[in-house]
Amino acid sequence: MATSRQQLRKYLDWPLVGAALGLVVCGIVGLLSATTGTATARVSGLAGIQFLWLVLGIGVAIGAIRVPTRFWFGISYILYGISIIALVLTLAVGVSRMGAERWLAIGPFRFQTSEMGKIGLILALARYLSFHKVSVSRFRDFAVTVGLVLVPIALIHRQPDLGTALVYGSIFLPMVYWAGLANLHLLAIITPVINAVCAFAGWIPWLVFLLILVGVLFLMRPPLRWTVVIAVINLVVGIVTPAIWDRLEPFQQRRIETFFSPEKDPLGAGYQIIQSQVAIGSGGLWGKGFLEGSQTRLAYLPETHTDFIFAVLGEEFGFVGAIVIVALYVLLIWRIFRMALVANNNFASFVCIGVGSMFAFHGIINIGMTIGLAPVTGLPLLLVSYGGSSLLTNGLAIGMVLGFGVRRFE
């Protein structure tokens, strides 16, 4: 036990611990602002509940630090299978809220199964990719990784929860790239996604994207067959995008339209983005002060405890407070990715890449959403937004990464 404590003190990544604790403190402060004396009674008392979840999350993280790497390797496929079963049960008997079935009720508790599914996917991909005989350059091996990510994405999309489904994709791409996916193959995967976004925006952005793609292919000078494959895929995506648009749920269509032009519906779909921008802009350099945000106090800003908690903190603590949060996020993500470089085995390295990518995508999309640079997807700001399931799973993820660091010299 003494040796174990000595290892913790010597090898624990204290900057990572500090960044994580700093973010959860910001979250508690933001929740106090969002729930104290507001015109919305339904969110009162959430800060206290979040504190209890925080204590549990810290306990989970401490426990995960002490778990050996071989244990995570051994249960990776089991945990992935359990998460898939949980996602299926969520669709069958899940608790509905605002038209979505995202929670599984266990007694008095509700658990968002897609949160644990992220950990299951990261561990399963890490185990498969860490085998020395696996090469993502071979179609068969790459197809297996695609299958691992498509199953949970399909189930989550049925809830429907497009934002979380995109998170799974953001975990997958960096992990397979870390495994050696060629730049050309990555281009073939990413460009159709960008293509679809441009096609949603209109014919002119789509044509501009195609011209840029032609320029990139000219500079890369790939083999002719790859040039043809990438060109055909992007042309097909651009043509079928209108059909995909018709299959989206009405609220998903409104979110996309609002992203491009929120001012077209300032009292409807564009209301959240506009009020968020007003809140952040009114904060100025130093902010209005704790519990002094008018957008929050008068309930002009919706979902202040989850999706738009960054706007709450930006209004009350200004540009300086927003920069502090961004800096803590950058430090957290950098330390996690750094752990991928110093880990003593491939499995741990891949897990760190997956965890870091998850935090990066959530942070970029949530903060971008609050300032109008990303569509409203419903993705929380991890460690800051309210959510018990999120705190527990993120505590587990950070605990695993810290544990890999403690044992990197073994």
What's the pLDDT tens digit per position in 312-321?
888 889 899 9
Confidence at residue 41, expressed as pLDDT on a 0 to 100 scale: 45
Do 335 and 397 meet the contact criterion of CB atoms below 8 Å apart?
no
Q: What is the pLDDT of residues 6-34, one digit of tens each?
A: 767 777 899 999 999 999 999 888 888 77
Confidence at residue 350, expressed as pLDDT on a 0 to 100 scale: 97
Give the closest residue to 11 by CA, choosing from 355, 344, 350: 344
165: pLDDT strictly greater than 60: yes
176 vs 196, residue with greater confidence: 176
Start-to-end CA distance of the chain, whole Å, equals: 16
Q: Which of 104-113, 284-293, 311-320 has the highest mean pLDDT?
A: 311-320
Do 387 and 209 meet the contact criterion of CB atoms below 8 Å apart?
no
Q: Angle at the Cα of 55 (from 52 to 60), degrees rounded to 5?
A: 125
303 confidence band (pLDDT: 50, 70, 90)? low
74: pLDDT strictly greater than 50: yes
Confidence at residue 4, expressed as pLDDT on a 0 to 100 scale: 64
162 confidence band (pLDDT: 50, 70, 90)? confident
3 confidence band (pLDDT: 50, 70, 90)? very low
CA 390/CA 397 separation, integer angstroms: 10
Confidence at residue 1, expressed as pLDDT on a 0 to 100 scale: 40
The proportion of the chain whose per-residue pLDDT surpasses 70, expressed as a percent, equals 84
Beta strand spans in 45-177 (E): 95-97, 100-106, 109-112
Which residue, chain included where needed, has tokens 């010299």?
409
Mean pLDDT of 134-163: 86
102 confidence band (pLDDT: 50, 70, 90)? low
